[in-house]
């Protein structure tokens, strides 16, 4: 197990280094000048040149890269060009909304997918199976932003159960905060739950054909106990794989959903920073999202070993 973790940690570090290089280079080759954007179209060349020096954009690319990586390691991400405040403070403030939103959406995704997937597998080729798989097909086809608008029309405009947007902060209480994130989380979860439900159904059906399932049934174990106690755990390897990828999709999906619901999260910060060409904020936010994806994949690899101990021996 120690060798397994050591190899995975080395892979994690190498992936983060490679990701940082790609993120930096991609933003470097983008057209435009941050100093020009900040100073305005009517600024003199001298003023633009002075602003370029102030922002450190006159330094070689390799020097700016090492300065940026050093800041990542020490927590000094610099100051935003547009906001004038430390990038770290901006990111931490927005993460207090985005992370709970993604986790709530992942909880909805997992709960819906497992229930639908296992139920459909238990009713294989019956009316319930066909109906549930038909609903998942519709869920896959629905864009997140369209479903978000539909939720606003139904639950905010017609029923007036929820606010149409905005977030007052966690200082108002946990329940009001979760209520404000409920509709955005559902709009993020519906597509991912539909995909995960189909994966769960296929994995459960495959495991249900195994000999140990027939043995459990022969011993008189109930259908529900077999499905949830024996089959589901052995079917979780492909499910956990997709869940890791989906959490990354949910983080990326917040960029659109936060703008629909006017939520002051990381997605909206990235959107505004791109519009303002605040590249220092964009670079750090994109790197943060990429690091989250890599770390989630690392956690998924470790979960593999916990779910199925046979994978540890074969990997080592």
β-bridge partners, 86: 79
pLDDT at residue 309, as a whole number: 58
Asked whether 139 and 193 are in contact (CB, 8 A), the reply is yes
Burial 69-80 (b: 16+ CB within 10 A, else e): eebbeeeebbbb
Of 35, 56, 31, 55, the closest CA to residue 47 belongs to 35
Position 316 scores a pLDDT of 42
Q: What is the pLDDT of residue 255?
A: 78
Contact at 8 Å (CB) between 34 and 278? yes
Give the distance, in angstroms, between the CA of residue 135 and the centroid of all CA atoms in the same chain: 24
Residue 176 pLDDT:
81
pLDDT attached to residue 313: 45
Confidence (pLDDT) at 230? 67
Q: Mean pLDDT, 10 residues at a time, over the chain (316 residues)?
A: 74 86 76 61 70 69 81 81 81 86 89 87 83 86 84 86 79 82 88 88 81 72 71 76 78 80 84 78 84 81 66 48
Contact of 168 with 219, CB cutoff 8 Å: no
Statement: the pTM of the whole predicted model exceeds 0.85: no
């Amino acid at each position: 197990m120690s060798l397994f973790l050591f190899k995975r940690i080395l892979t994690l570090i190498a992936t983060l280094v490679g990701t940082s290089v790609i993120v930096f280079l991609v933003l470097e080759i983008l057209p435009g000048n941050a100093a020009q954007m900040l100073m305005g179209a009517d600024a003199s060349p001298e003023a633009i040149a002075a602003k370029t020096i102030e922002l450190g954009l006159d330094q070689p690319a390799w020097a700016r890269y090492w300065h940026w990586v050093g800041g990542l390691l020490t927590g000094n991400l610099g100051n935003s060009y547009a906001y004038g405040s430390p990038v770290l403070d901006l990111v931490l403030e927005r993460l207090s909304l985005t992370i709970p939103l993604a986790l709530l959406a992942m909880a909805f995704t997992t709960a819906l997918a497992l229930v639908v997937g296992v139920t459909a597998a238990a009713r294989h080729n019956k009316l319930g199976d066909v109906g549930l798989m038909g609903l998942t097909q519709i869920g896959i086809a629905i864009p997140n932003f369209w479903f978000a608008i539909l939720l606003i029309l139904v639950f905010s405009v017609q029923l007036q159960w929820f606010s149409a947007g905005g977030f007052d902060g966690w200082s108002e209480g946990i329940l009001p905060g979760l209520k404000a994130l409920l509709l955005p989380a559902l709009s993020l979860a519906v597509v991912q739950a539909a995909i995960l439900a189909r994966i769960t159904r296929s994995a459960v059906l495959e495991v249900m054909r195994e000999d140990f399932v027939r043995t459990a049934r022969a011993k008189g174990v109930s259908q529900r106990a077999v499905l949830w106690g024996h089959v589901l755990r052995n079917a979780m390897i492909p499910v956990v794989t997709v869940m890791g990828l989906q959490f990354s999709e949910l983080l990326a999906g917040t960029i659109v959903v936060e703008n629909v619901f006017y939520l002051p999260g990381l997605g909206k910060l990235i959107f505004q920073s791109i519009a303002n060409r605040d590249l220092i904020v964009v670079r750090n936010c994109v790197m943060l999202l990429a690091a989250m994806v890599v770390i989630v994949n690392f956690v998924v690899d470790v979960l593999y070993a916990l779910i199925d101990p046979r994978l540890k021996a074969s990997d080592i």
